[in-house]
């Protein structure tokens, strides 16, 4: 009898928890495109002293995203030397 109550309580808790799970729906991109959302351009000032990754991080992106979006813009990337 106790095990049945535990199962019933667990089932009820799972149903209540799953009710709050919602998803965002995006329209599908055109055929052949991988872009979801909208594209925008970030202009880095000429006198910039910060690494470009700091600008990418402000928008939740990384170095690989920058290289993919701007092919040839950073042909040589020097990884930091760990000592």
Q: Whole-structure pTM over 0.85, yes or no?
A: no
The domains of the chain are located at: 40-73
Q: Which residues of 37-66 are buried (b: 16+ CB within 10 A; e: fewer)?
A: eeeeeeeeeeeeeeebeebbeeeeeeeeeb
Higher pLDDT among residues 67 and 3, named by residue: 3
Lowest mean pLDDT among 1-15, 16-30, 58-72: 16-30
Output the pLDDT for position 23.
75
- Mean predicted confidence (pLDDT) in 76-81: 58
Q: Can you tell me the distance from the alpha carbon of 72 to that of 17, in angstroms, rounded to the nearest whole number?
A: 47
Note the pLDDT tens digit of each residue in 30-77: 888 777 667 778 787 888 788 777 878 888 888 788 778 777 766 555
């Amino acid at each position: 009898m106790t095990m049945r109550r535990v199962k019933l309580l667990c089932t009820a808790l799972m149903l209540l928890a799953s009710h709050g799970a919602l998803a965002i729906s995006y329209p599908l991109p055109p055929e052949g495109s991988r872009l979801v959302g909208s594209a925008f351009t970030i202009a880095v000032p000429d006198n910039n002293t910060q690494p470009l990754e700091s600008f990418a991080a402000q928008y939740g992106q990384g170095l690989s995203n920058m290289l993919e979006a701007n092919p040839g813009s950073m042909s040589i990337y020097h990884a930091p030397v760990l000592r």
